Amino acid sequence: MTAALNVEGLRVTLGGREVLHDVGFSLEPGAFCGLIGANGSGKTTLLRTILGFTSPSAGRVALGGAAGYVPQKLQLDPDMPVRARDFVELGLNGHRFGFPLPSRARRAKVEEMLAAVDAAGFAGQRIGELSGGQQQRVLIAHALIRQPKLLLLDEPLANLDLRAAAEIIALLRRVAKQGVTVLISAHDMNPLLSAMDRIVYLANGRAASGTTQDVVRTEVLSALYGYHIDVIRVHERILVVAGEHGAHGHEHVATIP
Amino acid sequence: MTLLQPGFFSSLPVQNALLIGAGAALLSGAAGVFTVLRGQSFAGHALADVSAAGGAMAYLLGISPLLGFFSLSVLGALALEALGTRRAAGRDLAAGIVLGAGMGITALLLYLDVTVKGSAGAAVTVMFGSLFATPPGLGRAVALGALAGLLGLGFIYRPLLLASLDGELAKADGVNTRLLGAVYLLLLALAVTLSAMAVGAILSTALLIGPAAAALRLARSPVAAMGLAALLGLGCAWGGVWLAYQSYGWTPGHVWPVSFFITALVLVVYAAASLARRA
């Protein structure tokens, strides 16, 4: 089976500093994968390189089909008269030139996509007035309407409360089950662990990938961080604790599926 | 005192002023919606000030003011594009540098207009406009320029809207945002040029930003905002021409500046839109 995303030996240098060192992993179609790492670990650089915004100094990225992208948040004034419906429609034809003529088929497709992400109820509202969770649904609909094979999301849960985050994860899980490969970046793996098929864990520009059990282990994370990391399993939860040399103090608590 | 002056519609200077005002207002209103959406009001003002150098150059060389304003405005747009960065702070910095350079050149050219060509009124006309004193053939050229600008805006409408909302997202969707930004700046240069013809270089930002900002507060979609901004701008331009014409009867023998009335109406329209939005 052709991989939906194949990253091999990727090195990226920004401002004279190598941000990603020999990063490699592969995702199958329909995989639901978390790109986990602390702030500054290289997650956004990796996403930007996959999207083609940043050129690698070495290595390659191969996509099995079109990629859709969901940014963290739209910085829009609430007064801007752009409705959720308009924004999803731009996902369909925003790259095309010429003034759009009314189209019943296009409108039906937009409404179908809004319904698929449970956004029909606020489709007529200005996008700047929507809550973080509602805006994420609209952004996801915008990215999905052109039926990409791969969906890349940059910290989609960063500004959401627990309930909204759980709803977005459930939605993305549904998307992955329909065959779209989903790669979500997150600095906190807590909300994601129970849903992900696999993770790509980034630290110091290096990556380890596999299932949670494969990656979230003392020896793997210690090798990534370059100092001792304890992974403690307590009452079906994972506690990741930086060792005494971990001056950068990095800690995660998560539930094992 | 005569409150209503006769002969408004039969006056050739008025007809010319209405045509130039319409062309400037329609294109500036529509383009202004994107200027506001993209947070480029300062860049628009910088282009207007740079275009003043073109107006002053036209006096010095004896060429069409439209050509003078437009050529320098395009140079300003190219300079903004060359200096500009993706970050808003960088864009403002570039606009500030281009604005300063443009005003410096304007000062030199206006000095030469007065000392070499003896055009004492050049400074007031270039900076604050003189709509009733424009050459008769200019109206048609402005109308054609506005039509070309509106067609251009319509052509790039969808990618420009997407890039104005989120540049990274537009790039991910396959939009060449750099090229699009450059084309938009050229259209903005055209809009600013036409507005400078109507209300002068310094005041042209009023026609670019005011109607668009008001329309964005009231409209339900970007297309509706473009249409409404164009209509509000048209109302301000024509209303300003009418009021200036009537002012001949308020202070006999003197016509108040059209630019004053147009910019005052723009302010009233924006204030009314803000109040309506809050209500």
Superfamily, domain A1-66+148-224: P-loop containing nucleotide triphosphate hydrolases (3.40.50.300)
* Rounded mean pLDDT, A29-48: 92
Average pLDDT over residues A146-166: 90
Contact B224 A69 (CB under 8 A): no
Q: Is A5 helix (H, G, I), strand (E, B) or coil?
A: strand
Confidence of residue A44 (pLDDT cuts 50, 70, 90): very high
Average pLDDT of span B130-158? 91
Q: Do A81 and B222 touch (CB under 8 A)?
A: yes
pLDDT above 80 (res B29): yes
In angstroms, the CA A184 to CA A247 distance is 27
Q: Any CB–CB contact under 8 A between A102 and chain B?
A: no
- Type of residue numbered A21: H
Of A80, A91, A95, the CB nearest to B159: A95
Arithmetic mean of pLDDT, A112-129 = 92
Q: Identify the band that residue A120 occupies on the pLDDT scale cut at 50, 70 and 90.
A: very high
What band does A1 get if pLDDT is binned at 50, 70 and 90? low
Domains in chain B (CATH in brackets) are: 12-274 (1.10.3470.10)
Give residue A244's pLDDT: 55
Which chain B positions have a beta carbon within 8 Å of A75's beta carbon?
A: 166
Are B173 and A95 in contact (CB < 8 Å)? yes
Rounded mean pLDDT of chain B?
A: 90
DSSP output for chain B: --SS-S-TTT-HHHHHHHHHHHHHHHHHHHHHHHHHHTT-HHHHHHHHHHHHHHHHHHHHHT--HHHHHHHHHHHHHHHHHHH--SSHHHHHHHHHHHHHHHHHHHHHHHHHHHHTS--TTHHHHHHH--GGGS-TTHHHHHHHHHHHHHHHHHHTHHHHHHHHH-HHHHHHTT--HHHHHHHHHHHHHHHHHHHHHHH-TTTHHHHHHHHHHHHHHH-SSHHHHHHHHHHHHHHHHHHHHHHHHHGGGTTTT-PPPHHHHHHHHHHHHHHHHHHHHH-
In the predicted structure, residue B171 carries a pLDDT above the cut 60: yes
Mean pLDDT across the stretch A38-54?
92
Overall average pLDDT of the B180-186 stretch: 92
pLDDT-derived band at A252, boundaries 50, 70, 90: low
Average pLDDT over residues A166-191: 91
With contacts defined as CB-CB under 8 Å, which chain A residues touch B173? 69, 90-91, 94-95, 146
Average pLDDT over residues B186-211: 92
Listed in order, the ranges of chain A carrying CATH 3.40.50.300 are 1-66+148-224
**Chain B within 8 Å of A80 (Cβ-Cβ)?**
yes
Best residue in A51, A75, A82, A146 for a mutation probing chain B (most B CBs within 10 Å): A82
Q: Which residue has the higher pLDDT, A225 or A113?
A: A113
Predicted pLDDT of residue A92? 92
What global pTM score does this model have?
A: 0.87
pLDDT at residue A247, as a whole number = 45
Structure tokens at A24: 């490699």
A182: left (phi over 0), alpha (psi -120 to 50) or beta: beta
Residue B129: the pLDDT is 84
Of B158, B171, B175, the CB nearest to A53: B171
Cβ-based contacts of A95 with chain B (< 8 Å):
158-159, 162, 170, 173-175
- Residues above pLDDT 70, as percent of chain A: 93
Which of B154, B168, B225 is opposite residue A71, by nearest beta carbon?
Answer: B168
Q: Is A74 close to B155, i.e. CB distance below 8 A?
A: no
Is the per-residue pLDDT at B88 higher than 50?
Answer: yes
The verdict on A163 touching B (C-beta cutoff 8 Å) is no
Confidence of residue B279 (pLDDT cuts 50, 70, 90): confident
> Please, what is the average pLDDT of chain A?
88
Cβ–Cβ below 8 Å for A80 and B219: no
pLDDT at B95 over 50: yes
Chain A contact probe: residue of B173, B175, B179, B223 with most A CBs at under 10 A: B173
In this complex, which of B175, B216, B225 lies closest to A95 when CB atoms are compared? Answer: B175
Taking the Cβ of residue A95 and every Cβ of chain B, the question of whether any pair is shorter than 8 Å is answered with yes
Q: Cβ–Cβ of B219/A71 closer than 8 Å?
A: no
Position B42 pLDDT exceeds 50? yes
Complex ipTM over 0.90: no
Under the banding of pLDDT at 50, 70 and 90, the label for residue A79 is: confident
- pLDDT score of A257: 43
Q: Between chains, do A71 and B161 touch, taking CB under 8 Å as contact?
A: no
Query: From residue B166, how far is each of A163, B32, B39 by CA, in Å?
Result: 27, 18, 12
Nearest by CB: A80 against B37, B172, B174: B37
Residue A7 clears pLDDT 80, i.e. is over it: yes
Q: How far is B55 from chain A (nearest CA, A)?
A: 33
Contact A69 B221 (CB under 8 A): no
Q: Which helix (H) or strand (E) holds A231?
A: strand A229-234
Contact between residue B66 and residue B145 where contact means Cβ atoms under 8 Å apart = yes
Q: How confident is the model at residue B128 (pLDDT cuts 50, 70, 90)?
A: confident
Confidence (pLDDT) at B153? 96
Contacts of A232 (CB under 8 A, 6+ apart): A238, A239, A240, A241
Binned at pLDDT 50, 70 and 90, residue A249 comes out as very low
Residue B87, pLDDT score: 63
Residues contacting A76, CB < 8 A, separation 6+: A82, A127, A128, B165
Which one of A54, A79, A136, A138 would you mutate to disrupt binding with B, by most B Cβ within 10 Å of its Cβ? A79
Between vectors from CA A74 to CA B90 and to CA A105, what angle results, nearest 5°? 125
Q: How confident is the model at residue B119 (pLDDT cuts 50, 70, 90)?
A: confident
Please report which confidence band the pLDDT of residue A72 belongs to, taking 50, 70 and 90 as the band edges. Answer: confident
Q: How many beta-carbon contacts under 8 Å exist across A and B?
A: 78
User: Which of A75, A79, A90 is opposite residue B162, by nearest beta carbon?
Assistant: A90
- Chain A residues closer than 8 Å to B225 by CB: 81
Q: What is the pLDDT of residue B24?
A: 95
